[in-house]
Structure formats: C-alpha cells, structure tokens
Structure 1
C-alpha cells in the first residue's frame, strides 16, 4: 500500500463507522442537510480558491483535480442551485486529497466531516457550529479546546503590505504552532518583511483587537472562546472570525474553520473536523455481538441455527469451506472469542457446543436454551 493512505478492515472499519455515525447523527439533529459531491472538481475552480500553498498540493489530471476540502464543492453547488432558499445548512462527510509528504497524522487521502451555513452573516450561525463541534467531540469522549481570531483584525495589522507579502506572512505565522517562533522569524526575515507585524501579533490581546477592528473585537467577545493572536488559517477565502479546534492537553489540531466569502456567496461560515485524526485519538470498544458456527457433516442444522440467531440481532458467520474441525477453529480464533460447534450428535439431541476460543473451554446446552438466552452466552 502506498504511503499517506489508510485502509479499514473488520474492527477498524467498525471504529471508523462509529465515528462517522456519531458525527452524522449530531449534524442532522441540528437540521443540517447532507450533501454528497464528486471528488472531482474543475481544476480552474480549485486553483482559484485554494491559495498558493494548497494549489501546490492539488492532485490534477488535465482539466480536473481532486477536491482538497468540502468547501469549494459546496459553494460551487450553491451557485448552481440559486433556487435553494438561504441560508443553506449542509453537512458533508467524505474523503479529500492533498499531495504533501505523509507524516504522523498527516495523510494524502483523509476524511473530513464539514458543517456549513451558506448565506448567513449571523453570529448565531457561528455559535451554533461551534456548539455542534464541541458536542461531537464530547460524544466521542474528547474534550475540545477552541481558539479563535478574526481575519479583520489580522488584515488591519498588515494593511500596508501588498497581497503577496500578506499571503506569505499569514501562511508562515499559521505554522508557528508546528515549527516555533524562531523558524517563523527566519522565514519572515528571508522574505524581507519587517518583524513589526509578528511582534504586534505576539503581544496582542483583545484590547489590541479593539484598537484595530471594533467589528472583530465585538465578534470575538460574543464567541467567548480563547483568543489566539497568531491563529491565521492558511486558506485565502476567510474574511471574519476563524477558529482552530484541538483536544485539551494534546497539541494536535482536529478541526478548524471560520467565516468566508467565495464566488458570489459572500456570507458563509463553516467548520471541518478531521475524522482521520479523531480515529487515532479516541478509545473504542468493539461492541458487536458475533459468533462463528463450525460444523461436521450437518451444514443444514448449522445454517438453521445461524438464521435464527441473526433474527435475534447477532452477527453470525458459518463455515462454508471444505475443511476439518481443527482448521475451522483455527480460522475462528483469529476473529471470534467464542464459537458454536455442531455435528450429527448435536442435531439428534437438538443441542449445540459452545466453545470459548480464548480459554479453550466448552460446554453443551440445548438449542432451546441457546435461542432463548443467546445474550447470556454472547455478550
């Protein structure tokens, strides 16, 4: 398998599905509607809205490219569907792609779970999506730490820089959490940009924000989360409040977002959670009730038991291969804690053998007892 991608099998997939189901259930409970878009987008659209750093990471094939987030496809969809009433509240959960060097918790193919409000300038939309993000993380057993800033404040600080200098400065400062202040200063010095902008940001508090932008100050006060003056967000389409979500006590970002303008849709706000990172962080207990049925000469009897147990909600795999009982048990021990064994004697007595594959112990019970009290034996 190539680096930077992941595959999920059996228990790993169930863990992933648990995360996805938890997120989708919460998103939908707030009235957000699902949107599934193609992973392919017009390359010109992606290049226009990606920003310099993201543009270098786009997988491209002639006139098309792989989506690098869910935001660009959303706004493209909204523009193509002017008949939809605003605001559009939508969620999208799926794979996105960025052509960068794979690292720990950084992939070239990864899953994001986005929630956005298109066509809303209301602070209540911002507060709602932050509440939703916190609820998702708490439901997964994680404690969210949200830091905020505002691009109106940042733009005011660097108002005398040209667009290229401003874009470079923002992209560089955005990496201060990963590479440190010394590295950021070195990059800024090489570019020939004065240190005063970084120094202003490093010593800023909310009162500083008020001096530069009262709108930004009022918004940040309403949001009421931890202010981080060096939080920038690398994408060029942000216009107002921005936020970064990490896990309390762990210096790992699991999401972010903010208010943005794109194409003709000028008033939007959204947040994206990194499902692939959440997968690495949560504790998960596999709760599926499952059992394997091994048989000798009596497939029909074994199959009838499997059908009855499935009706009762158990996941049941029955041997379908021509192999000895020993081989069946060797196979079952790789995936199951217990198995059922039946043969001619068990069919005649209408009984089953239940074997604990970890302890190597087994006992015989009646078929009637199994079907009436199956949860007692397979919890």
Structure 2
C-alpha cells in the first residue's frame, strides 16, 4: 500500500517520463536557460510568506517539525524556492535564466492529471521588466510542447494589472484585489452564476458591466481598444498591446488568445499571466501556466528583482500523450542479452563488459537459466538482440547474434558484433 496521490513508476513508465523530461530540458537549454536545483523542503515561513502562495495553497503544504523543533514544508512549486535563492544571491548576472525539473507536493484531492506528488518543468527569467522576457519564457514552453508532438493548443493571456484596473472601475479596492482575483479565477469551475454568488458573499460589488468586460475573450486588438476606454490607467493595456505585437516576431501569435477572466490562483503574480490548454483534452485542465511575479523576491531579501516564469505540468502531459498514443515505439531496454551456454560464463562476462564499454546497453543472465527460459525473458522485456556464447562459438572465437524480431541469426566475431549493434 502507498498513500493516496503518489505512484510507483515501473521501468516502462519511466521510459515515457524520461522521454518527456529530456525533450523539455533539451528545448529549455536551446533557449539559453541553465538548469539548477533547489531543496525539496524549505523553512515553513519561506513557503507561507505573505504574498507568496496565498491562503489556499498554504493549506495544501505538507509540513513537519524536525528534530530541532523547526517547522519545515515540502515545496509546492519551484517559484517560491527560486525567489528565495535569487534574494540570497543578489550578485547573479542579469538576466538570470534558469530551468528546473522535478517533484513538488500539494495536499490536493487526487483526480485526472492531479496528484499529491507530481513533476513540474519550470523556466524563469530574473532581472528584466520588458515583455520580451515574458515572451522568451512562453516561447520556450510552446517550443517544448511542439517538440513533444502537440500542435493544437491555445495560450490564454491576461494581465493582473489590467484586471485590477477593471476591478477598480467596478469599485473593488486595490487592497482586496488578490481576494477578488481568487474568486474570478474560479469562473471555469463554478461558472458565472457561482462566481457572482461568491463575490456577493465576500461583499464585492457585482455589476453587469464588470462581467461584460471580464468575460471577453479572443483577438486582443479590438478588446484592448475597448478596455482602454473604460479604465483610468492605460499602461497595463498598452503593455499587453506591446506583448501581442512582439509575439509575432517570436512566431507564436497563432496560439495566443486574450482572456480577461484569467487570473491564476497564486498571490505572487503581479503582471501578465499565461495558461495553456490542449484542444480535445480540456478535461485535464491547463498543461502549463505562469506569469510575472515582480514583488516575490523582495519578500526574502533587500532588493526587488523583476521576474517571470512558466511551468509545464508533466503529469497531465504524460496522461494526454498516453491517451492520444503520442509516444514512439520504444526499443527494448537493455538492447542486448548475453546468454552463456556450458562453460562459457567467464568469456560471456568479458564480452558483456566490452559491450558496455562501447556504450551498448547490455544485460547478462544472472540466474544461470536454460536457453528457452532466457529467450522468453528477452521476449517479455522486448530485448531486441540476444548474443549466445556456446562452447562451439568459444572455439571459433565468435558469437551467435539473434534478432528477436525476425528470428535471424548471424555468426560474428567480436569486432563485427560491436559494429552490428552500434
């Protein structure tokens, strides 16, 4: 038995997982992001700092008291730990571009694509307030999705600053904006009626004009032109106009859609926010999301450092790829099984080591089974090749190579065997 929300990953599942993670890491590196790692757990007050995750996420933190009486928490994402790292290392060259792939933990209700232990693949830029930073991270994530075989997806874009301006026109005080955003962010889950009801319960003003504005979704030019007539501070709308204009140069405009109800649930977001969904797989929710969090680093240090980042939800990607049969046919692992017959064990071990030194994935029988059982074993693991060393082969200084797919057998010397397997 294992706890709810966690899983074991047998070798065949790890092949798929590593396939996805390697593809993502490869793309992130091609964009100039450097990999780093932060601790799995932090001091609890780091994770629960005001304006970090927020009240709802604080309830989901796995926390424990260490033997010294200090409270710790497992990281619920990579953003808070990296913000702490950047604050502690103020002399990092800017922009500081990094990516991180690994496990995070949240005490959520397990469901399709949602677990209590799960993997994320984050990419972030620190030190720039310009929209090209936002677009660089977004472009990297889009490229990663395309590399995995996804082409039909939509990227919803909004700005927390713009949403704050819209809310202010409806009478929402700025100090209560974060709570207002959390309610608006539930629009897809509980619908317009449910959101209106919750806003009323929290004593927020609810006007038809407000909902008319925030329910707009689609091409940005017309929507932003209209919104600018409704708000006092035009800068958030103008920033989005610059964003969509520059997106054309990044070659990603076809995927983007302005969605004024998008808020993202975490309190640390301050500007442009993103959310990506795969068309035809909406039941899994968003597969990636993020945004700008310019005020978070200042919570852990003396300086305020602008920052923006996105995260790919690896579990949902894996489930969708499984459902859509997007994985390639993986070759069996290992590539070769060496089978000694008779008094040839020593030579078989030497050959195994030689093949391994040539970077050929090789296994040797460790249970001294007969040939029939070993052939069944190779078929079960889908090992492509079996190398048989019998006493006759030993005398001729050759081995028998069997292709397990075709059944074809060849008698080869060691040099030719290596060439054949490479």
Normalised to the residue count of structure 1, the TM-score between the two structures is 0.89
Which residue is 1:177 aligned to?
188
Question: 2:93: which partner in 1?
Answer: 85
Query: Partners in 2 of 1:325 and 1:179 — Cα distance?
Result: 62
Change (3 A) 1:315 1:258: same
- Secondary structure class of the residue paired with 2:133: helix
1:156 partnered with 2:168: no
1:75 correspondence with 2:83: yes
Residue 166 (structure 1) shift: 3.9
Q: Mapping of 1:278-297 within 5 angstroms?
A: 278-282=317-321, 283-285=326-328, 286-287=330-331, 290-297=335-342
Q: Counterparts in 2 of 1:47-196, with a 5 A limit?
A: 47-48=48-49, 49-62=52-65, 63-143=71-151, 144-159=153-168, 160-161=171-172, 166-196=177-207
| Unaligned runs of at least 5 residues, structure 2 | 66-70, 218-222, 245-255
Cα displacement string for residues 360-379 of structure 1 (whole angstroms, at most 9, x for unaligned residues): x453423358526514xx8x
Deviation at 1:311, TM superposition (A): 4.2
Query: Any idea what the Cα deviations from partners look like across 1:247-281, whole Å, max 9, x if unmatched?
Result: 24432311111111212435211111112222223
Q: Give the whole-Å Cα distance in 2 for the aligned partners of 1:370 and 1:8.
A: 37
User: Structure 2: how far apart are the matches of 1:344 and 1:306?
Assistant: 17
Out of 132-141 and 276-285, give the one that drifted further: 276-285
1:150-175 CA-to-partner distances (Å, cap 9, x unmatched) read 11111122233357864443223223
Instruction: Say whether residues 1:23 and 2:24 are aligned partners.
Output: yes
Alignment of 1:340 with 2:351, yes or no, is no
Distance of aligned partners of 1:164 and 1:105 in 2 relative to their CA distance in 1, 3 Å threshold: farther
| Cα distance, 1:292–1:368 mapped onto 2, change above 3 Å | closer
Tell me whether 67-76 or 274-283 shows the greater mean CA deviation: 274-283
Alpha-carbon distance between aligned partners in 1 of 2:241 and 2:404, rounded to the nearest angstrom: 59
Deviation at 1:126, TM superposition (A): 1.2
SS in structure 1 at match of 2:260: coil
The answer to whether the 8 A contact 1:351-1:364 is kept is no
Residue in 2 that maps onto 1:229: 260
Deviation, 1:83, is: 2.3
Q: Distance in 1 between matches of 2:384 and 2:3?
A: 33
1:5, 1:107 within 8 Å by CA — same for their partners in 2? yes
Between stretches 287-296 and 232-241, larger displacement belongs to: 287-296
Q: Provide the aligned length of Structure 1 versus Structure 2.
A: 375
Q: TM-score, normalised by structure 2?
A: 0.81
Whether 1:250 aligns to 2:260 is no
CA RMSD of superposed structures (Å) = 2.6
Cα distance change, pair 210–162 in 1 and its aligned pair in 2 (3 A): closer
Displacement, 1:353?
3.4
Q: CA deviation at 1:244?
A: 0.8
More deviation in 180-189 or 209-218? 180-189
Deviation at 1:110, TM superposition (A): 1.1
Report what 1:4 is aligned to: 5
Separation in structure 2 between the aligned mates of residue 266 and residue 108 of structure 1, nearest angstrom: 31
Matched with 1:324 is 370
Cα displacement (A) at 1:142: 1.2
SS at match of 1:273: strand
Per-residue CA deviations over 1:210-235 (Å, capped at 9, x if unaligned) read: 23242121122222231011111001
**Of residues 352, 377, 398 in structure 2, which corresponds to 1:306?**
352
Change (3 A) 1:60 1:209: farther
- What displacement does 1:187 show? 3.5
CA-to-aligned-CA distance 1:292-326 (integer Å, 9 cap, x gap): 12222211232233234334442111112232333
What do the CA deviations read for 1:332-375 (whole angstroms, capped 9, x no partner)? 2221244222222222234433445467x453423358526514
**Can you list the C-alpha shifts for 1:161-203, whole angstroms capped at 9, x where unaligned?**
3578644432232232344334434433444544324443114
Give the gaps of 5 or more residues in structure 1.
Answer: none
Whether the 8 Å contact between 1:127 and 1:223 is mirrored in structure 2 is yes
Query: Whose strand proportion is higher, 1 or 2?
Result: 1
The separation in 2 between residues aligned to 1:85 and 1:358, in whole angstroms, is 53
Partners of 2:129 and 2:30 in 1: CA distance: 22
